[in-house]
């Protein structure tokens, strides 16, 4: 049986996220992307508080939260099962996050992408909070084989004093790995 090539994700720093990336790759089989049904949260219980799952709905072109761990809900209390991101994110946050989600799923003509971020992972100016850490964002296929789910994990710690770069965008290392 053909096995999909291993994608180099050696830039991931936290061992928990590296294990999650390995898990995702193990579920691919001969496909470039695993199905949503292949992922079982029971397989990574220690990371559960930090994972989240979002489903893209083509009509009405919105992103719906399907799962969010305790630590994710602590940062974004509005996140809950069955809520669209535009229902709880500020317009500024939505403008920053939605393009990343679209990129991960390849919705705008590109290939689906694995997204990794290290540095500032949360900036909540409206609350005077910022957090540093690491985030891994992975695409998943729906039952028909289309990339329609985003599976992610975010590890963070709040900064004692909120920080912003002079231009307003906090520093972050962002690595996008197209899946071909």
| Confidence grade of residue 15 (pLDDT, cut at 50, 70, 90) | very high
For residues 20 and 41, is the Cβ–Cβ distance under 8 A?
no
Asked if CATH classification 3.30.450 holds for the domain at 15-178, the reply, yes or no, is: yes
Q: Residue 155 contacts by C-beta under 8 Å, 6 or more apart in sequence? A: 14, 16, 17, 50, 121, 133, 134, 135
Mean pLDDT of the chain: 85
Instruction: Give mean pLDDT, residues 166-180.
Output: 74
Structure tokens at 58: 């083509």
Handedness of CA 96, 139, 102, 94 (dihedral sign): negative
Interval 125-152 mean pLDDT: 87
| Confidence category of residue 37, pLDDT binned at 50, 70, 90 | very high
Helix (H, G, I), strand (E, B) or coil at 140: strand
Q: How far apart are CA 67 and CA 24, in angstroms?
A: 17
Query: CB burial class (10 A; 0-12, 13-18, 19+) of residue 57?
Result: exposed
Highest mean pLDDT among 121-125, 141-145, 163-167: 141-145
Predicted pLDDT of residue 25: 94
2 exposed, middle or buried (CB, 10 Å; 0-12, 13-18, 19+)?
exposed
Residue 139 CA to residue 113 CA, distance in Å, equals 7
pLDDT tops 80 at residue 23: yes
Rounded CA gap, 23 and 93, in Å? 29
What single DSSP character describes residue 104? H
Contact 176, 117 (CB under 8 A): no
- What's the rounded mean pLDDT across residues 2-25? 85
Q: How confident is the model at residue 114 (pLDDT cuts 50, 70, 90)?
A: very high
Domain boundaries, the chain: 15-178
Question: Quick one: pLDDT band at residue 164, thresholds 50, 70, 90?
Answer: low
Residue 1 confidence class, pLDDT cut points 50, 70, 90: very low
The reported pTM is: 0.87
Question: Does residue 3 surpass a pLDDT of 90?
Answer: no
Task: Give how far Cα 156 sits from Cα of 111, 122, 133, 147, 165, Å.
Answer: 28, 8, 4, 27, 18
Query: What pLDDT does residue 175 have?
Result: 87
| Cβ(179)–Cβ(125) below 8 Å | no
Mean pLDDT of 91-115: 93
89 versus 35: the higher-pLDDT residue is 35
Tokens read off for 42: 């029971």
């Amino acid at each position: 049986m053909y096995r999909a090539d291993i994608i180099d994700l050696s830039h991931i720093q936290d061992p928990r996220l590296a294990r999650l990336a390995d898990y995702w790759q193990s579920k691919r089989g001969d496909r470039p992307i695993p199905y949503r049904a292949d992922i079982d949260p029971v397989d990574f219980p220690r990371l559960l508080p930090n994972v989240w799952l979002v489903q893209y709905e083509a009509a009405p072109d919105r992103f719906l939260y399907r799962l969010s761990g305790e630590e994710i809900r602590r940062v974004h209390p509005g996140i809950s099962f069955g809520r669209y991101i535009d229902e709880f994110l500020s317009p500024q946050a939505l403008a920053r996050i939605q393009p990343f989600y679209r990129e991960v799923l390849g919705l705008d003509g590109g290939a689906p992408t694995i997204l990794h971020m290290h540095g500032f992972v949360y900036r909540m100016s409206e609350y005077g909070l910022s957090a540093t850490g690491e985030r891994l964002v992975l695409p998943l296929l729906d039952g028909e084989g289309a990339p329609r789910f985003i599976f992610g994990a975010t590890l963070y710690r709040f900064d004692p004093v909120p920080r912003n770069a002079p231009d307003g965008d906090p520093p972050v290392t962002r690595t996008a790995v197209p899946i071909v």
